[in-house]
Amino acid sequence: MSKNRQHIKILFLPYFWLFIFFILPLLIMFVYSFSQRGTYGGVKYIFTISNYINSFDPLYFKLFLRSLTYSFFSTLIALLIGYPIAYYIATSTAKIKAILIFLVILPFWTNFLIRIFSWIVILGTEGMVNDFLIWIGLVESPIELLFNDFSVMLGLVYGVLPYMILPIVASLDKLDKNLLEASVDLGANRFETFYKVTFPLSMQGVVTGIVFVFIPSLGQFVVPDILGGTSTYMIGNTISNQFITVRNWPFGSAMSMLLMLIVSITISLYIRYSKKKY
Amino acid sequence: MATARSTNDLKFGQGKSLFAITILVLLFLHIPILILIFYSFNDSRFASHWGGFSLKWYYKIIDDDSLWLAVRNTIQVAIVSTIISTILGTLAAIGLHKFNFKFKDFFLNILYLPIIIPEVVMGLSMLILFVLFAIPLGLMTVTIAHITFSISFVVLIVLARLQSFDMTLEEAGADLGATQWQIFWKITFPNISSGIYAGALLALTLSIDDFLISFFTTGPGSTTLPLKIYAMIKFGITPEINAVSTILLISTTLILYFVGYFMNKGKKEGSAFLEI
């Protein structure tokens, strides 16, 4: 019957596009990751797993570890400061809630580069914080607040915080307020109610927020590039470096594949968790 | 008889300390942007010294031809990529919604990949493809890349809109003798147009905003605005960036305000933005 083929007609173009420009490039990258580096940055199609072995060289393994550490702590910090504000937003009246959500989304209307750059204006040696510190006499000369672990994690948290807040607001919004009252009526104090009722019931939002924050942090390029230095480079910067500067594409491809592996593991854990809930 | 208490009678979550945290977090999110706007009017080159009110950085960027070229490139890439990704995304959404076929879940799941994959990997894998097939890097490759990452977002938004569209209307149209083409333009499109516009708007903003994927897929001379801003940051031309940021912020706010106003006037479909 002709009806059975209709979906092919309508889906062909979009999926053809995605295959050519999305799937195929990743497949080529996969092949490259098992190839050898040729002269002048070319690629020799000789099978090797040395790119993967080299990725675990202490020099590069350190980078994976650093990226994971940065992402872990920025996710943790985002959760610690994101949850209270999400809780406040979710329990506000409809009008206030709309305004607060708007204010959380509003920074997205500014280009990410610009938002990250503004921290240079704030934290730089000629920046406002240093000026203030000198003015109150705490320091004699400007101190370096940028290009270190602190500035990179600050940038990461700053960039991803709304992704943590919004899913938690959504899950707290769905929470049946009668349960909270029941808890109080049964003699639980506010802390117990939060710990035993509210928080467990908002777990879906918390987990979604963690995934939304952790994954973009892990692959970050802009934040360590602008607010960090070579000592704070993350995987994203190193991969880019291998492609653009060092021109060792097979090695860059192998590291990309490993990054994708970590992302896939995170996502599959998330899917498994979500399925368990329903 | 117990009277039903209003939803938040016990004032959960409305304590003073939570209020204070909320204000602090909002300040944290907004102060950097406000500071840039403030210093864009600073006569002094240094952020730490207020040299008096001045518009000189604005005059300076108005005279900057390379900046205007970047703006033109950005608009060109954004318009072309929005049109193509909206068409492709809408086709995919309709196909996925209307038909049941083997491996449908697989085709649905593929759409999530461009959203979750690290941008660095996506950009560089496309660079590999373009180099391998000797496609010259430039505005065309940037546009292709933008279409590729926008399609998924368009599909998901249009799919969400299709969920509330009564498909029997299409059957009614067919029963009354309308052709496929007529059914689409007279029944389906008017019903899901708000979703298509929302998807197009998202594709447009994603394209205008994109730095990293453009960074890897562009060629010499094909600078878009975010790439230009990146170069300015790297060279440390602070006051001009402040002025550019302020102009950008005002224009995006205005555009989104008018689009929101326009869409609310038509149908209430703003929720599609919150769903993604």
User: What is the secondary structure of B2-44 as a DSSP string?
Assistant: PPPPPTTTT-TT--HHHHHHHHHHHHHHHHHHHHHHHHTTBSS
Note the pLDDT of residue B272.
44
Note the pLDDT of residue B4.
42
45-74 of A, contacting B, C-beta below 8 A: none
Q: Domain residues for A122? A: 58-277
Give the number of other CB atoms < 10 A from CB of residue A108. 15
Beta carbons within 8 Å of A196's beta carbon, 6+ residues apart: A183, A188
**In this model, does residue A159 exceed pLDDT 80?**
yes
Q: Find the CATH number of the domain harbouring A147.
A: 1.10.3720.10
Give the number of other CB atoms < 10 A from CB of residue A177. 15
DSSP B267: -
A78 close contact with B: CB closer than 8 A: no
User: How far is CA B30 from each of CA A104, A213, A217, B117, B205, rounded to the nearest angstrom?
Assistant: 9, 19, 20, 28, 20
Contact flag A215-B118 (C-beta cutoff 8 Å): yes
User: How far is CA A28 from each of CA B29, B130, B182, rounded to the nearest angstrom?
Assistant: 40, 11, 42
Note the pLDDT of residue A4.
64
- Pick the residue with more confidence: B22 or A277? B22
| A48 and A35 Cβ atoms separated by less than 8 Å | yes
Give the number of other CB atoms < 10 A from CB of residue B176. 9
A271-276: list long-range contacts, CB under 8 Å, 24+ apart: A273/A207, A274/A204, A274/A207
**In this model, does residue A91 exceed pLDDT 80?**
yes
Note the pLDDT of residue A186.
86
Q: How many CB pairs under 8 A join A and B?
A: 237
Contact flag B14-A131 (C-beta cutoff 8 Å): no
Rounded to an integer, what distance in angstroms lies between the CA atom of residue B163 and that of residue B98?
Answer: 10
A21 close contact with B: CB closer than 8 A: yes
Note the pLDDT of residue B255.
79
In chain B, which stretches have pLDDT less than 50?
1-7, 268-276
User: How far is CA B143 from each of CA A8, A56, B209, B217, rounded to the nearest angstrom?
Assistant: 26, 36, 13, 9
Query: Nearest-CA residue of chain A relative to B238?
Result: A121
Note the pLDDT of residue B10.
55
Closest Cβ opposite residue A85 in set B22, B107, B129? B22
Q: CA of A121, closest CA in chain B: separation in Å?
A: 6
Is B58-275 CATH 1.10.3720.10?
yes
- Across all residues in chain A, what is the average pLDDT? 90
Rounded to an integer, what distance in angstroms lies between the CA atom of residue A200 and that of residue A222?
Answer: 35
Structure tokens at A69: 């550490």
Q: At what angle do helices B139-163 and A6-18 cross, to 10 degrees?
A: 140
Q: Is residue A12 part of a domain?
A: no
Q: What is the reported pTM?
A: 0.90
User: How far is CA A189 from each of CA A90, A186, A195, B11, rounded to the nearest angstrom?
Assistant: 20, 9, 10, 13
For residues A208-234, give the mean pLDDT.
93
- Pick the residue with more confidence: A275 or B84? B84
A36: which strand partners? Answer: A44
Q: Is residue A91 part of a domain?
A: yes
Note the pLDDT of residue A66.
94
Q: Is residue A98 part of a domain?
A: yes
ipTM rounded to 2 decimals: 0.91
Structure tokens at A18: 């995605």
User: How far is CA A198 from each of CA A57, A171, A177, B9, B12, rounded to the nearest angstrom?
Assistant: 45, 10, 9, 16, 10
Beta carbons within 8 Å of A166's beta carbon, 6+ residues apart: A86, A101, A104, A105, A209, B274
Note the pLDDT of residue A76.
97
Note the pLDDT of residue B271.
45
Closest Cβ opposite residue A103 in set B26, B98, B120? B26
Contact flag A260-B253 (C-beta cutoff 8 Å): no
The structural domains of chain B, with segments of one domain joined by +, span 17-54, 58-275
Q: In chain A, how many domains are there? A: 1
Note the pLDDT of residue A144.
86
Note the pLDDT of residue A3.
55
Contact flag B107-A11 (C-beta cutoff 8 Å): yes
Longest dimension (CA), chain A: 84
Note the pLDDT of residue A229.
84
- Pick the residue with more confidence: A276 or B250? B250
